[in-house]
Amino acid sequence: MRLLALGVVSLTLGWTGCDSAQVQPPAPPAGDIFQLNRALGRGVNFGNALEAPKEGEWGLTLEEGFFDLVKQGGFKTIRLPISWTHHASKAAPYTINPAFFERVDWAIAQATRRGLNLIVNVHHYDELNANPQAEEARYLTIWKQIAERYQNQPHSVYFELLNEPHGRFNDNPELWNDLLAKALRVVRESNPSRAVIVGPVGWNALWRLPELRLPADRHLIVTVHYYEPFAFTHQGAEWVSPSPPTGVTWTPTQGTFAAGWQDWSWDSQIGFVGQALEVTYQKGWAGFYLHSDFGADGYDSLAFKTGAPVSLQVSCRRDTPAKAVTTAGDGAETRVRLTECGNPSKLTDLILQNNTPNAQPTFRLEELELRGPGHALSLLSNQQNAIAQALEFAQRWALQNQRPIFVGEFGAYEKGDLDSRVRWTRAVRSEIEKREFSWAYWEFGAGFGLYDRAAHQWREPLLKALLP
């Protein structure tokens, strides 16, 4: 996103920080938000500390040595998740606890003294996500206090308005668009040109970027988070219900669906063998169903191949008449025009349904492609390409809207095997940097952690995947 066309130089320049522990980086030109975003460079989250209801309750208490480790490790930025709601009064004037403010002061001082950037955010404000209107006054007052307290901090201190808007915001993104504009006005009263980070609803999902409506403020950095495939990155996560099963591995060439497309099949067994997809209809009228929240437009037909003859109903809209087809098998191509299967203006649902009352033998889908004038989209991909497709989506949005991108979180939980985690982390970091996005890994020393606090050492394979 921060391409040369936008006046931003390559990420290969200036990624490593200054060696002096007391030197601040030179201030970027006034108003150059792309350079301020590039200055974030490579970062790490100090998760599970100040985001907990009480520091230490989630197993991590910040130590001064952590800041030294981050500096010595080669990172430029610390993203500091902070749950202010647990330290501010519930009634007006919503005063933030002075002792907690002093703890945040300490963290900012530790970072700035070492020449590190630090992002102050609002994290885990569950009441706001559940009821934005009821919490609006408290949220805005919390930001007024934060902004006024830190208005004289150097440019290396960034503000992030809200981590992962979700809940009611997901159902009505305009609620978030309106509230972020109000919060920004509050911040600008005391910080007229500070870099402020803001992201879309859906837990900062990059697919929700088109719903983000930003004020005419050129000091904004847009953030997204990336944890796909979720079944891999969150396997065994205790806070997810139901917890994704463990034992999921990740390799770049492993087959998967195109980025943003989810398997919503019913009464079917779906699995990749190499790049080919095996489908077993376990009951009559079972369905192989792909869904995309953002969809695909500009296509007029669907082409696919099956390794054996199969009787299907093809639908490209839910609850609309389907096109009945019987494939020839043996890799012969079947083509269905979208006007024959629902004629959507934007395709978000694709269903290949069993067209018999009985189960059918397993067959292979060796091709599944949307086609339009002069272009095509394969819905069967591999894990490496899926990452690239997702980040290309964010890159196109950023170029169209002239906004810099910061990938504020990505990581894989410790219940996955380390080799897979390293491969995934390296692949994501590489694709992020190809697009000259800044980033912060989730996280330093807890369940996703880069640093083994018990052994007092970095997890070198993960660290090298991030800082090759």
Q: pLDDT tens digit string along 63-106?
A: 999 999 999 999 999 999 999 999 999 999 999 999 999 999 99
Look at residues 141, 138, 108, 118 and name the one whose alpha carbon lies nearest to residue 39: 118
Mean pLDDT to the nearest integer, 414-427: 98
Q: How confident is the model at residue 13 (pLDDT cuts 50, 70, 90)?
A: very low
How many angstroms separate the CA atoms of 150 and 171, rounded? 33
DSSP letter for each residue of 352-395: EEE-SSS----EEEEEEEEEETTEEEESEEEHHHHHHHHHHHHH
Pair 270, 288: CB distance under 8 Å: yes
User: Quick one: CA dihedral 158, 161, 165, 167, positive or negative?
Assistant: positive
pLDDT digits (tens, 9 = 90+) for 177-230: 999 999 999 999 999 999 999 999 999 999 999 999 999 999 999 999 999 999
pLDDT digits (tens, 9 = 90+) for 362-402: 999 989 999 999 899 999 999 999 999 999 999 999 999 99
Q: How far is CA 54 from the centre of its chain?
A: 26
With 0.85 as the threshold, say if the pTM is over it.
Answer: yes
Q: Helix 98-113 crosses helix 132-149 at what angle (to 10 degrees)?
A: 50
The contacts of residue 191 (CB under 8 Å, 6+ apart) are 147, 150, 151, 159
pLDDT digits (tens, 9 = 90+) for 226-280: 999 999 999 999 999 999 999 999 999 999 999 999 999 999 999 998 888 999 9
Residue 45 CB neighbours (<10 A): 28
Pair 125, 33: CB distance under 8 Å: no
Domain annotation for the chain: domains and CATH numbers: 4-243+384-466 (3.20.20.80), 259-378 (2.60.120.430)
Average pLDDT along the chain: 92
Can you read off the two tokens belonging to residue 190? 């005391």
